[in-house]
Amino acid sequence: MRTAVITGGAGGLGLVTARHLSRAGMDVVLVGRNAARTAAAAADLAARSYTADLSQWTQVRDLAGTLAKSEGPISVLVNNAGAAFPRYQETIDGVERTYAINHHAPFLLTHALLTAGTLAGDARIINVSSFVEKRGRLDTADPDVSGASWRDRFYSQIHVYATAKLLGLLATADLARRLPAGMRVYNANPGMVKGTRMNADAGGLMRLTAPLFRPFSITPEEGVRTGVWLATADPAPEPSGGFFTDSAPATPSRSATDTALARVIYDRTAALLGI
C-alpha cells in the first residue's frame, strides 16, 4: 500500500485531500499543528497523525526524523499547510512567519525526507500553490528568501503571501531538475476556495474581503481535484516542476518561469535552511 503524508491535514483542503487519497487506497498520514484536531481527523480516516508547528525549522526537522523512522517509504508528500498574517512577525528562527510556513517548511521537509531516504523511488511531491503568486513582490536582482525585508517596508498581507508562494514556485522548478530519476514534484493551484479556515485565520484584509469573493469561489471538494489528480494519475503527469490548474499544466507569472532566478532562489533557500 502506498503511503501519503499530508501537512495541514486537520481540516480544510488537507483533510479533503486525505479523504480522497484514502478512498484511492493509500495509507494516509496527517500532520497538523493542533494535536487534538489532527488526531480526531485521523481517527475518522483510520489514519495516523503527527503534530508539528511548521513555522519552526527544528520542528520540521524533527517531523522528518519521526517520519523517517515510522512511515517510510512515502509515495506521496502533499505540502498543503499554509497561512497568511496581517502584520509582520518573526519566528524563533528570525524569518518572517508567512515565508516560514509557505516556503521554508515545504522546502525543508522535502529535503530532509530526501536526505533520509524516506521518499519512495517514484515519489510525487505536491506543493499547494496559489494563483495569487502573480502578485508577488520579489526583487529579482537581490531576492530575499527569509522575508525579513518586509520589516522595513510597508507590510501588505496579500503581497507577502503571494511572494512566499512565488518563491515556492521558483524553488520547486529548480528542485525538479535535481530530483533522482523517477521522482516528481508539482505545484497545485486549488483556485479560490470557500469554506476553509484560511481567510478567517489570516485576519486582516484577507478576512474582510473574503465575503466579496465568495460568489466566485469554489468548494473544497473542487479545490482538491488538481492535487488529487497529481497524486493518483497514471502515468504520472508532466512536466515535473510545473504549475497545474484544473488538472492540467498552466502558465504562472513570468517571474515564476525564470530558470536563472529559480536557481538563485533554490540556492539561497538551501543556504538559509542549512541544507
Q: What is the pLDDT of residues 221-271, one digit of tens each?
A: 999 999 999 999 999 999 999 999 999 999 999 999 999 999 999 999 999
Q: Note the pLDDT of residue 213.
A: 43
Number of Cβ within a 10 Å radius of residue 35: 13
Q: First CA to last CA across the chain, in angstroms?
A: 31
| 42/118 Cα distance (integer angstroms) | 21
CB neighbour list of residue 164: distance below 8 Å, 6 or more residues apart = 98, 99, 101, 102, 103, 147
Q: What is the pTM of this model?
A: 0.92
Query: Look-up: residue for cell 469573493?
Result: 213
| 88/68 Cα distance (integer angstroms) | 34
| 96/87 Cα distance (integer angstroms) | 10
Q: Note the pLDDT of residue 201.
A: 54
| 234/7 Cα distance (integer angstroms) | 23
Structure-block grid coordinates of residue 105: 517548511
- Residues 122-149: tens digit of each pLDDT: 999 999 999 999 999 999 999 999 999 9
Q: Note the pLDDT of residue 254.
A: 95
**pLDDT tops 70 at residue 205:** no
% residues pLDDT > 70 (the chain): 91
